[in-house]
Amino acid sequence: MRTPPNGFSARSSLQDFDLSQNKSLRALVFPAADIKDAASSFLKHVLSTVTPSASLKVIISYHDSDFGGVKSYQPYLREMSQADIAEEASRNRRLFRVLREVHKVRGFQVVLRASVWGYAGEHHVRALEQAVAQEKARKGFDDSFSEPLVLYDPRMDRTRYM
């Protein structure tokens, strides 16, 4: 059986993701596309194995293809249709629902990181800030599950420098 590039076999079990031996863990990064309802049990297990220490950050990393207004590898923005806007809002509600559920296992600070090409950075940060504002309006945050931090982490076009 060929081993996947990430070093985990296709037959990995939840016990393979035990982080209890790591005493200095400060952050976990997950791709936004992987945070779905089905991921809830996996995330709960991983977070339950984290040794309590200083505040833990769970970073949800968004890439260009995670936003409805930009297609991967196409350096332009297009107007989002009402259907695109509704689908993106629905995805964001599901994301916050999963994170709230997982948060019950172990407290953490949510960071939404737009790791996108520079041309679209401001657009994507505004989209994430708008998602947070909509969740806040629905009273989705409180003392036990605080409002996420939104960051912009620009990706660079490496071909430009070669």
> Residue 49: inside a domain, yes or no?
yes
What's the pTM value of the predicted model, to 2 decimals?
Answer: 0.76
Look at residue 38 in the predicted model and tell me its pLDDT. Answer: 63
Decide: helix, strand or coil at residue 55.
coil
> Residue 105: inside a domain, yes or no?
yes
> Residue 6: inside a domain, yes or no?
no
> Residue 162: inside a domain, yes or no?
no
Q: Spell out the residues 6+ positions from residue 4 whose beta carbon is closer than 8 angstroms to its own.
A: 10
Rounded distance, CA 57 to CA 94, Å?
A: 19
> Residue 161: inside a domain, yes or no?
no
> Residue 1: inside a domain, yes or no?
no
Look at residue 72 in the predicted model and tell me its pLDDT. Answer: 44
Reported in sequence order, the residue ranges of 4-157 that DSSP labels E, i.e. its strands, are: 27-31, 57-62, 109-114, 149-152
> Residue 72: inside a domain, yes or no?
yes
Range of the structural domain that residue 40 is part of: 25-155
As for how many domains the chain has, the answer is: 1
Tens-binned pLDDT, residue by residue, of the chain (162 aa): 344 444 444 455 666 677 777 777 788 888 888 887 667 788 888 888 887 666 788 999 988 778 764 444 444 455 667 787 788 888 888 889 888 888 888 888 999 999 887 777 788 888 899 899 999 998 888 878 889 999 998 876 655 544
